[in-house]
Amino acid sequence: MAREQAPVSSLVLAILGLLSEQPRSGYDLRKVFATTAMGQFSDSPGAVYPALKRCAKLGWLRSETHNSGSLRPRQVFSLTARGRTALAALLSRPVMRRDLERRPDELLLRFAFSGGILGRRGARRFLTGYLREVEASLADLRGQAKSIGKIPPCVRLAMEHGIEGYETDARWARRALKEL
Amino acid sequence: MAREQAPVSSLVLAILGLLSEQPRSGYDLRKVFATTAMGQFSDSPGAVYPALKRCAKLGWLRSETHNSGSLRPRQVFSLTARGRTALAALLSRPVMRRDLERRPDELLLRFAFSGGILGRRGARRFLTGYLREVEASLADLRGQAKSIGKIPPCVRLAMEHGIEGYETDARWARRALKEL
DNA sequence: CGATACATGTAACCGGTTACATGATTTT
DNA sequence: AAAATCATGTAACCGGTTACATGTATCG
């Protein structure tokens, strides 16, 4: 009786993952997005604060207010039990080809958090799915590269970029599977 | 007196680039997005047809109508001179760090088309800028990886994925520079 | 004749971007 | 005292997603 999973943006996934590590305020989250390797996500208030509100409304987050007398109280958010369940469900989704092509960063984000939420088993399951899709895409790209006849050098180089990127992804996934 | 460049979506860039090669209908474009390595772009009619209309309104595209008597005339679009100029301006934009982090696919798309529109000089200029930003990001990521102390294995592996990806990008760019 | 591919479009929804607004606290 | 940083928020805009709507042409 699995409930349908509402589509969740990468930003929400990042927020849930970060809050699963420790409670943070909206501003804390924005700083993470602005200054760390998670710079792919928006640190703009117009994205972060509404996202936090949506998650709170879904019951995934609770907030604790500091300086409640102040006009600008600081709100610190943390994951609820339901939020943790929702995060686990999001992280457990099978790796789809579409994700690999359209939002590869989100996939790596899922992997980074899956260790803490799903454990080694979950992380390994992710990696096998990831490797499967990478290899499928690689085969596809190689096939296309062969079947196209004469193409301009820049187009050929761009395709080779894609192929080499997937090869690197596959090597990484195999190594990660050995390490875990 | 360079006019300000309106922000242009990746989809529009892809459309302009494809139409610079040959005239195509909206359906043709959708097929390209649905079946080739450009699958990162939306093949949904709700994205493609409005994008074509916007470009036509900007004077970047002209359309030729076949079967004009029919209720469903087929419209074939091609780049106007102004469209080609706009595309050249888009492809000439310097490579920004933000693009590398947020829309790497769009960068490669720009490179793929720059050969035909900007010539070898333009393609080489792109590659040097790309390499510069990749190396900067790489240094940044390595620094972060070092400065963080103990991190969970999955997080470390995810960071290594990023580093190895950039290393591959840099190798590719150096090779491409040699080849061009 | 039914299914599939061809072919174009609209409408509601959603969420990210940009810009603006507000005010407290800390640093120089 | 001014500037920077901390901290939260709103509103307009834009464009992609999804779903729906419509009709033709081709093939088995």
pLDDT in tens, A51-70: 999 999 999 999 998 875 66
Q: Which residues of B touch A (CB under 8 A)?
A: 36-37, 39-40, 101-102, 108-109, 111-116, 123, 140-141, 144, 152-155, 157-162, 164-165, 167-169, 171-172, 176, 179-180
B31 touches strand C (CB under 7 A): yes
Averaged pLDDT for residues B117-131: 97
Residue B2's pLDDT is 43
First to last CA, chain A: 32
Distance between the alpha carbon (CA) of A44 and the C1' atom of D3, Å = 22
The secondary element (H helix, E strand) that includes residue A25 is strand A24-25
Supply the mean pLDDT for chain A. 93
Residue B42's pLDDT is 92
Percent of chain B with pLDDT strictly greater than 90: 87
Supply the mean pLDDT for chain B. 93
Residue A7's pLDDT is 77
The answer on pLDDT for B107 being more than 90 is yes
pLDDT 10s digits, B80-99: 999 999 999 999 999 999 99
Distance between the alpha carbon (CA) of A70 and the C1' atom of D9, Å = 14
Among the ranges given (A126-135, B3-12, B163-172), the one the predictor scored with the smallest mean pLDDT: B3-12
> Which residues, 6+ apart, have CB-to-CB distance to B34 below 8 Å?
B43
The residue in chain B having the minimum alpha-carbon distance to the alpha carbon of residue A121 is B154
pTM of the model: 0.92
The alpha carbon of residue B157 is apart from the nearest alpha carbon of chain A, in Å, by: 7
Residue B1's pLDDT is 41
Q: Which residues of A touch B (CB under 8 A)?
A: 36-37, 39-40, 101-102, 108-109, 111-116, 123, 140-141, 144, 152-155, 157-162, 164-165, 167-169, 171-172, 176, 179-180
Averaged pLDDT for residues B10-22: 96
Spacing of C-alpha B74 from chain mean position: 27
Residue B149's pLDDT is 83
Residue A10's pLDDT is 96
Averaged pLDDT for residues A138-143: 94
Averaged pLDDT for residues B63-84: 84
- Best of A133, A141, A161 to disrupt the B interface (most B CBs within 10 Å) is A161
Contact A109 B172 (CB under 8 A): no
B137 band by pLDDT with thresholds 50, 70 and 90: very high
The answer on pLDDT for B72 being more than 50 is yes
> Which residues, 6+ apart, have CB-to-CB distance to B20 below 8 Å?
B79, B84, B87, B113, B116, B117
Averaged pLDDT for residues A105-127: 96
Averaged pLDDT for residues B34-41: 93
Q: State whether residue A62 is helix, strand or coil.
A: strand
Residue B6's pLDDT is 72
Nearest protein residue to nucleotide D10 (CA to C1' distance) is A46
The answer on pLDDT for B108 being more than 90 is yes
Residue A2's pLDDT is 44
pLDDT 10s digits, A15-39: 999 999 999 999 999 999 999 999 9
Nearest protein residue to nucleotide D20 (CA to C1' distance) is B46
- Best of A157, A160, A164, A180 to disrupt the B interface (most B CBs within 10 Å) is A157
Residue A147's pLDDT is 87
Averaged pLDDT for residues B135-143: 95
A72 touches strand C (CB under 7 A): yes
Percent of chain A with pLDDT strictly greater than 90: 87
B71 band by pLDDT with thresholds 50, 70 and 90: low
- Per the listing, tokens 């359209």 go with A102
Nearest protein residue to nucleotide D12 (CA to C1' distance) is A46
Counting one residue from chain A and one from chain B, the pairs whose CB atoms sit within 8 A come to 96
The answer on pLDDT for A152 being more than 80 is yes
The alpha carbon of residue B72 is apart from the nearest alpha carbon of chain A, in Å, by: 31
- CB-side exposure of A121: number of CA atoms within 13 Å? 3
Contact B160 A169 (CB under 8 A): no
Distances in Å between the Cα of B166 and the Cα atoms of A98, B54, B73 are: 22, 35, 47
Residue A70's pLDDT is 63
Contact A127, A177 (CB under 8 A): yes
Going by C-alpha positions, the residue among B97, B128, B134 that lies closest to residue A165 is B134
